[in-house]
Structure formats: structure tokens, C-alpha cells
């Protein structure tokens, strides 16, 4: 492989297996965007970026300017934008400006009548890698909805992380293999690693994240705390929720009260009754749209990244999550979850069973199209 196509990883920045790694968390888009733009401005060799939504708005234009400036300075800049996620948001004018500046731009899985089924498989990952030494991963898209400066108090609540060292180098390798066309790329596994990056699909398994969530629920001893914007679990995951709750594990689920896609809410509501009857606690986040994807188990294991707890993320889309047993990261994520719950309303099991026929009908409609949401 040519050096220009490999991760510019400096061995001196690597952490040894088992060594702790400080991971910076971001829950506000403006702080995250400032950090990402600062990292891009300091890039010397490579800027590799992939995102589901790249909007031609105030936020997208800031990123486009930063990427174009680095490309003109001779830095290799690669941008992978999902064709569906950015549909009607990433305009041809913006693409032309980037390409004229030297940015290597690709749209993932554009419509092709010869391969219509692949259009349903999206790249939902949000990853930025700078020189193989620093990486950003999480749920934030590049759009104004995540910015208080431009969207106000209604901005989306999300979670992102940044990290350096060996884990950032691994992120670069994962990006590069995907860019080269190897979509079933392999995560780098080390049983002694505190942190690993996990794509949901590899050559040996096309539902690795589903298996991880299943293991989380089956191995939990005390509590499981999950945050997800789109909760449409398959039957196996539902059984894992029920099994954990029946074993006495405290299972708490945090979802948005007002998701951006109403059908998703209806589909999620279709499984509430079964979970509530088993003792699962469900909380609906009230202040704004909740878009974070986080899980913490017994404050000993945690995952954050791009995958939702729905059919599309677990079985269709390309996703990437950070899996960690770093005590400090687990503690900080747990603290954030506890704070978010204070701003949520708990779904009452008794009142839920008494809901009228109209919402029940909506639930049937949402559940019937759950695989396409």
C-alpha cells in the first residue's frame, strides 16, 4: 500500500495494550465543532472524514472552508458523505468548490438501477481522523441542528468522543480500508485493550453490534443504562431486555420524547408495554431532540458511537462504535446518563396499558415498517 494511502501513524503516539487512555467527551455541538475545526487546521498530512449528514448550512460551510484550505496547502483531504443522509442538503455547488480545492470527495451508495438493493445500505458512521494521531467519533452530524449558536435552545442533544494514540491510528486504518472498498473491514482486536473500535460488520459477522448489545444485557449483574434516539429492537434484543430485567438487573432506557421521525416513535411504542411489564424503566427526554447513542453496563463497560438500537443500525447500515472498559469513561458516561434522566419523564406502566385505540393503531403502523425506518 502506498504511504499516501495509509494511516500516517506515529509509533511514538501509540499506547500499549492495557494502558488507559483519556477520552474527551462532547455533548454540545458547538464545542465539538470548534475542536474538530481546530484539529483540521493543524493537520499536516491527512484529514479523513466520513459523515452521514453534511449540510450546506452555516456549520457545513465552516467545515467545507477548513477542508478546502488544508487541501490547498497540500494535505490529503478525503471526505465520504452518505448519498441519502445528505440528500437535498449537500449541494452540487459545495461539492464543486471542495473538489476544485483538491478535496477527494465521494458520495456513498448513490442510486444505481443495476444495484437497487444497495441503496438501502447506508454509511451512518461519523468519523474524523487527523494525521492518524487524533480522531473524533460519535453521533453528531455536520448540520446546524446540533449548534446552539445557529439552532438555539432546541439544538439536538448528542454525544461524541475524541481520542489520540493507538486508538486514533486504528480509526485511520478503519477509515482507509472502507475508503478502499473493503466494507467488511475488521476491527483491531486485543483482549487486553481497554478500548477497541467495533464496526458492525466484518467478514465473519454482519451483526456484531447486535451481538455486543445482546452480551451487554445477558452479562449485566446490576444495571444497564441505554440512551438511543431510535429504539426499534429486534425480537432477540427484546428477549435480552426481558431476561435481564427478570434476573433483577435494573434496566433503564432513555429515548427522546419528540423524535424527529414520528414513525420511529410509533414503532418504539409498540414494544413499550412488554418491557414495562417486565420491569424495564423507560424515560423520555423532554428538553429537545435526543440523538446520543450510549450504553453503560454495571459502570464497568460502555459503548458510544453511531449505532442506534434499531433494525437499520444493527442489520443494514455501516456503523462504528467505541467499546470501552475504561473506568473514568464509564463513570463520566454514567454521570451524564443520571443527569439526562433528571430531565426526562418516566413512562408509567399502568397509564401506558390504558392508552386508547388511536395510538395503538399508530404503533401497529410503525412496527409494520420497522425494518425500513
Q: Of residues 107, 143, 160, 293, which has the active-site annotation?
A: 293
Q: Of residues 56, 82, 107, 124, which has the active-site annotation?
A: 124
Q: Of residues 30, 57, 260, 298, which has the active-site annotation?
A: 298
Q: Is 293 a catalytic residue?
A: yes
Q: Is 325 a catalytic residue?
A: no
pLDDT for the residue numbered 2? 34
CA quadruple 291, 295, 301, 304: dihedral, nearest 10: -20
Q: Provide the CA 224 distance to its chain's centre, in angstroms.
A: 19
CB–CB of 347/355 below 8 Å?
A: no
pTM attached to this predicted model? 0.91
Q: Of residues 158, 234, 291, 310, which has the active-site annotation?
A: 291
Q: Of residues 56, 131, 234, 340, which has the active-site annotation?
A: 131
Q: Provide the CA 80 distance to its chain's centre, in angstroms.
A: 16
Q: Is 124 a catalytic residue?
A: yes
Instruction: State the Cα–Cα distance between residues 197 and 209, nearest whole angstrom.
Output: 11
Interior angle at CA 49, CA 48 and CA 50, nearest 5: 135
Q: Is 328 a catalytic residue?
A: no
CB–CB of 105/99 below 8 Å?
A: yes
Q: Where are the domains of the chain?
A: 21-191, 208-372
pLDDT for the residue numbered 9? 62
Could you state, in chain order, the average pLDDT of each consecutive group of 10 residues for the chain (373 residues)? 49 38 93 98 98 97 98 98 92 93 94 79 96 97 97 97 95 95 65 82 71 92 96 91 96 92 74 90 96 97 95 91 96 98 91 62 62 61
Instruction: State the Cα–Cα distance between residues 311 and 306, nearest whole angstrom.
Output: 13
With a pLDDT cut of 90, the percent of the chain lying above it is 67
Q: Is 235 a catalytic residue?
A: no
- Do 208-372 and 21-191 fall under one CATH topology? yes
Give tens-digit pLDDT for 29-61: 999 999 999 999 999 999 999 999 999 999 999
Q: Which three cell numbers stand for residue 245?
A: 430485567
CATH code for the structural domain at 21-191: 3.30.870.10
CATH 3.40.50.740 fits 208-372, yes or no: no
Residue 129's SS3 state is strand
**DSSP string over 157-184:** B--EEEEEHHHHHHHHHHHHHHHTT--S
Residue 240's SS3 state is helix
Tell me which DSSP letter residue 118 carries. G
Instruction: State the Cα–Cα distance between residues 70 and 355, nearest whole angstrom.
Output: 56
Q: Is 298 a catalytic residue?
A: yes
Rg of the chain, C-alpha, whole Å: 20
Q: Of residues 107, 126, 143, 160, which has the active-site annotation?
A: 126
Amino acid at each position: 500500500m502506498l504511504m499516501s494511502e495509509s494511516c500516517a501513524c506515529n509509533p511514538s503516539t501509540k499506547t500499549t495494550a492495557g494502558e488507559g487512555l483519556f477520552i474527551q467527551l462532547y455533548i454540545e455541538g458547538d464545542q465539538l465543532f470548534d475542536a474538530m475545526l481546530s484539529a483540521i487546521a493543524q493537520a499536516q498530512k491527512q484529514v479523513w472524514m466520513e459523515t452521514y449528514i453534511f449540510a450546506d448550512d452555516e456549520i457545513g460551510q465552516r467545515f467545507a472552508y477548513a477542508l478546502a484550505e488544508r487541501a490547498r496547502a497540500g494535505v490529503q483531504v478525503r471526505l465520504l458523505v452518505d448519498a441519502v443522509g445528505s440528500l437535498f442538503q449537500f449541494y452540487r455547488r459545495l461539492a464543486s468548490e471542495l473538489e476544485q480545492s483538491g478535496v477527494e470527495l465521494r458520495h456513498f451508495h448513490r442510486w444505481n438501477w443495476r444495484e437497487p438493493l444497495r441503496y438501502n445500505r447506508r454509511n451512518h458512521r461519523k468519523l474524523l481522523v487527523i494525521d492518524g494521531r487524533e480522531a473524533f467519533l460519535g453521533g453528531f452530524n455536520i448540520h446546524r441542528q446540533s449548534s446552539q449558536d445557529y439552532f438555539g435552545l432546541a439544538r439536538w442533544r448528542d454525544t461524541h468522543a475524541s481520542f489520540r494514540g493507538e486508538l486514533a491510528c486504528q480509526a485511520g486504518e478503519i477509515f482507509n480500508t472502507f475508503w478502499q472498498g473493503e466494507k467488511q473491514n475488521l476491527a483491531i482486536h486485543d483482549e487486553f485493550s481497554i478500548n477497541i473500535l467495533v464496526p458492525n460488520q466484518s467478514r465473519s459477522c454482519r451483526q456484531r453490534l447486535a451481538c455486543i448489545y445482546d452480551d451487554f444485557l445477558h452479562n449485566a449483574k446490576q444495571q444497564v443504562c441505554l440512551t438511543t434516539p431510535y429504539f426499534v429492537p429486534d425480537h432477540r434484543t427484546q428477549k435480552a431486555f426481558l431476561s435481564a430485567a427478570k434476573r433483577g438487573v435494573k434496566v433503564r432506557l432513555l429515548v427522546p420524547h419528540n423524535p424527529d421521525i414520528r414513525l420511529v416513535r410509533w414503532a418504539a411504542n409498540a414494544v413499550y408495554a412488554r418491557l414495562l411489564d417486565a420491569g424495564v424503566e423507560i424515560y423520555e427526554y423532554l428538553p429537545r431532540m435526543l440523538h446520543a447513542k450510549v450504553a453503560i453496563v454495571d459502570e464497568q463497560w460502555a459503548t458510544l458511537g453511531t449505532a442506534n438500537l434499531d433494525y437499520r443500525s444493527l442489520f443494514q447500515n455501516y456503523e462504528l462504535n467505541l467499546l470501552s472498559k475504561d473506568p473514568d469513561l464509564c463513570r463520566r458516561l454514567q454521570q451524564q446518563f443520571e443527569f439526562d434522566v433528571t430531565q426526562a419523564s418516566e413512562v408509567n406502566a399502568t397509564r401506558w396499558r390504558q392508552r386508547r385505540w388511536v395510538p395503538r393503531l399508530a404503533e401497529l403502523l410503525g412496527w409494520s415498517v420497522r425494518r425500513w425506518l
